[in-house]
Amino acid sequence: MSDQELITQIRGGDKESMQTLIERYYDDIYLFIRYKCGNADLSYDLTQETFLRFIRYFHAYVEKGTFRSYLFRIAMNVINDHFHHVRERDMQPLEEENIRDAASVSEDIHERMLVEHLLAQLPSYQRDVLVLKYQYGLKAREIACIVNEKVPTVKSRIRQGL
């Protein structure tokens, strides 16, 4: 069943469709948050907060772009809200080990480790767009909505990062 059909059923009062939609995207959102914050326990908490916000504000959801990019935008906002008041010295650095834990299963582990090592050396604004594009398969337009930038800026960051 498509996301659109599930959303229609949820608006009709079907709570099981809400659960189906959450289960469909839970792992992707968790891995993205884990990649961003580098802490498993915190990632679980922020993933839960992402889906709680989705449930709380579902009535205001307007269908623009894909539902998946909408969830990534909520996740990005949750992460930003969480770290808004955290001092720079209190933030845990993004370590290669944490990136490896958050990465999806790859056919060639050696190649994956090399890519993760290189990604860790990029500025976060380039790393974020590359991960969203190549790991999650999002389009530049969707990434622009998630990172709150213009499409040409996103495309430029992708080219620079590559």
| Angle subtended by helix axes 3-11 and 15-37, to nearest 10 | 120
Work out the pLDDT band at 95, boundaries 50, 70, 90: low
Instruction: Note whether 161 and 133 are within 8 A (CB).
Output: no
**Chain centre to alpha carbon of residue 155:** 18
* Residue-level pLDDT at 135: 82
Average pLDDT over residues 134-148: 86
* Residue-level pLDDT at 121: 86
Give the tens place of pLDDT for each residue, 24-78.
999 999 999 998 888 888 899 999 999 999 989 888 887 777 888 889 999 998 9
pLDDT at position 138 over 60: yes
Instruction: Note whether 138 and 146 are within 8 A (CB).
Output: yes
Average pLDDT over residues 140-152: 89
